[in-house]
Amino acid sequence: MQANPIRIPTVSKDTSWDFCFHLSQQTRNPAEPTDDLFAICQCRETEEDTTVQEEGTTANSMSLPKQQLAQSQEKVGQLVREKMNTKANKELIRCFILSRIIFGEEHWKCAQALANLAYGYLTLRGLPAQAKKHAVSARNTLLTWKQNTTSDKEKKEILGALVMLYYTLGTAWLLQKHGKQAYTHLQKADRNMKELKDLNNGGDGGSQVSEKDLTIALGRASLAMHRMNLALAYFEKAIGNIIIAKGHGTSELISLYEEIAQIEQLRKNHEQAIRYLQQAYTICVSSFSEVSPQTAEASALLAKAYAMSGESQHRDAVEIYFIKSISTYQTLGSEDYETLTTIEDFCTWLIQNGAKQVAYKLLKYTLNSRTYGDCGKKVAETFYNMGSICFAKGDLRNAIQLLRKCLMVQILIYGSKHIKSRETKNLLTLLQRESSSGLKRELIPGRKKNACKDKAE
């Protein structure tokens, strides 16, 4: 099992940001009150002798975007709660536009709105490149205002925005597999959070980023830099804080126990890794029941942890937890990648421990079941594994047939030039030569005669 606690989302092109800089070029939607919004965009300062009546008119006109900003901010929270992430992100863009109209581009509140937008691109859309771009744009303005502000209330808000901004930058770098840059920015977020807590007399209010999330991100960045002991310390801190706040049985601990177990596996502390995964499994059972995707995944991780220890006394536990996981997935009717991966992991372990026939039957059953559906990568892998088992048993004929099927599927999926297709083709060629040379040896007259003599004796 490879330790890979960080999942990296696919970064796709997002053009909605262009809207912020090209308001006049957008097609207006009659359903939205954009006329007033665009009229306000064109407002300019009047001459010094502007009358009181004109000033009053300007104040009234500015009340509209302020009202719209308050409504948009409220709507963002509602959309996030309803899991409508794309709409929530678009509403954050609207908040930035309105903030720019009301306060101006150089004001800290406009930079705060931009930092919120960057955080939205990261957490709502999983787009680290866009998040970094917008966070960098907001950084200088916030830092300048932080140095010059005298109001504690403003400073708290600016510090909260800086925590969010540096957390966004750090996590974005982490998702793009740049551990050192990630850790540098996350440390800045941590320093700003400590300063914010001092202003709040020890409280952590004023930031959308929780101390738990920041600590976990620092742990993951440390892991990305291969600083195992430092990563372990951050995860232990996060686990301790959650236990103090919510108790030992909260489901928030599951993912943390699984990640810290991976760190212990990398440090070759397999027994400690097993203990953490046992705790995760126990919480899954109590929180989601024994028949749930979460428990099936926890059971598979526990089985692999027992297998990685290499201890003979853990062999029964490996089988028990693999079978529990597979049975749970099948009971749920699950046909996802995790199900198939668990079956293959179990078969790999069976082969390594001499149970080739059992592994072969399980792979054959999986191949014949409805789980795979149409041709896919997993079909090719199953054919390959079955062919390898036949080859190990000396059954070249079946091995060649299975590898031919594997190659056909691989060419269909990857193409003939892909490394997987080439490796399978090379192995198949080798087996065909071996089979051909073996057949020639059998056809030598003297060899056949001697073989018959041996049988007679």
d(CA 133, CA 135) in angstroms, rounded, equals 6
Looking at residues 277-283, what average pLDDT do you find? 97
290-323 pLDDT, tens digit each = 999 999 999 999 999 999 998 889 999 999 999 9
| Average pLDDT over every residue of 343-355 | 87
**Residue 44 confidence (pLDDT):** 32
In terms of pLDDT, which residue wins out, 358 or 203? Answer: 358
Q: What is the pLDDT of residue 262?
A: 94
pLDDT band at residue 12 using 50, 70 and 90 as cut-offs: very low
Q: Chain-wide mean pLDDT for the chain? A: 80
Give the residue with greater pLDDT, 228 vs 330: 228
Cα 132 to Cα 140, 142, 168, 419, distances in angstroms = 14, 15, 7, 35
Q: What would the pLDDT profile of 52-92 be if each residue is shown by its tens digit? A: 344 444 444 556 888 999 999 999 999 999 999 999 999 99
pLDDT confidence band for 208 (50 / 70 / 90)? confident
Identify the pLDDT of residue 383.
Answer: 84
Pull the structure tokens for residue 308.
């990685």
pLDDT score of 448 more than 70: no
More confident residue, 391 or 129: 129
Q: What is the pLDDT of residue 137?
A: 93
pLDDT at 274 over 80: yes
The pLDDT value recorded for residue 168 is: 97
Using the CB atoms, write b or e for 297-327: b if 16+ within 10 Å: bbbbbbbbbbbbbeeeebeebbbebbebbbe
Q: Over the stretch 34-54, which tens digit does the pLDDT of each residue have?
A: 333 223 233 333 333 333 344
Residue-wise pLDDT tens digits, 384-430: 888 888 888 888 888 888 888 888 888 878 888 899 888 989 988 88
Please tell me the least confidently modeled range out of 77-86, 118-127, 430-439: 430-439
pLDDT at 335: 59
- Percent of the chain's residues with pLDDT above 70: 78
- The reported pLDDT for the residue numbered 1 is 38
pLDDT tens, position by position, 239-252:
999 999 999 999 99
- State yes or no: pLDDT of 269 exceeds 50: yes
- Is pLDDT at 343 greater than 80 in this prediction? yes
Query: Does the structure show a pLDDT above 70 at 450?
Result: no
Higher-pLDDT residue of 57, 104: 104
Number of CB atoms found within 10 A of residue 261's CB:
27
What pTM was estimated for this model as a whole?
0.71
Taking residues 435-448, report their average pLDDT: 54
Q: What is the mean pLDDT of residues 126-141?
A: 94
pLDDT at 32 > cutoff 60: no
How sure is the predictor about 280, in pLDDT bands with cuts at 50, 70 and 90?
Answer: very high
Residue pLDDT, tens place only, 152-162: 889 999 999 99
* Cα–Cα distance for residue pair 171/119, rounded to 1 Å: 10
